[in-house]
Amino acid sequence: MGSMRQIVLDTETTGLSAEGGDRIIEIGCVELFNRKLTGNNLHFYINPERDSHEDALKVHGISNEFLRDKPKFAELADEILAYVRGAEVIIHNAPFDLGFLNKELERLGHPPFKTFAEGVIDTLVMAKEMFPGKRNSLDALCDRLEVDNSGRTLHGALLDAELLADVYINLTRGQEALLMDVPADKDAGPAQGQAAVLDLSGFHLPVLQANPQELQEHQDVLAQLDKSSGGKTVWRSCESLSARKFVA
């Protein structure tokens, strides 16, 4: 992939509806270069020119008073766009943040956010593919991928962007994390970057059989499942089908 500059972005907003007039109150971005945090971060509080909803206040904890003297989005737009230009932007649940960014840019007569970035990666989409049916909020992913998020009490955009950067790196670590580092020996052994090949032909693999008590417990569980499904379990219909075949 070559050297890649990536920006991990998070926003806080006055509420949930960009179309309904809600605005961005905070934007936090951290920069990754070759998958390492560079420290070249971008962080602004923004005067949204309106109050936050009660439920949004509970999430971000940023008071309306605090934001009154902050710059408006119009004053910061050029700096934000210059910062993301040419980079791949990583967002958790991208349609939400992009909806807000696009609305702010539209007010200023600018084209959508994606036209300034190299591309957008949505970590929520990635997580749903990797962990289908699981909770994939940022907090849930931090727990699952062992990213330490104990330092936060409220959702700060910069802290969330930093946590998301760690989550993204863990989500995309892929196979190389499974390869053992084997020192390259001059005489023998694998070349650098290759996994050691183990010959398993000499291993004896013991086969553990279930004992009578375990078999009985298994039958009890099957009987309970039979009962709760009203006799409609798949294995019973398969059994009766194969029994009919033998009779025939």
Q: What is the pLDDT of residues 72-102, one digit of tens each?
A: 999 999 999 999 999 999 999 999 999 999 9
Other beta carbons less than 10 A from residue 238's beta carbon: 10
pLDDT digits (tens, 9 = 90+) for 199-224: 666 666 677 788 888 888 888 888 88
Query: Which CATH number describes the domain made up of 5-177?
Result: 3.30.420.10
Q: What is the pLDDT of residue 109?
A: 98
Q: Give the catalytic positions in this structure.
A: 155
Residue extents of the structural domains in the chain: 5-177, 212-247
Q: What is the pTM of this model?
A: 0.70
Q: Average pLDDT in the 108-125 region?
A: 97
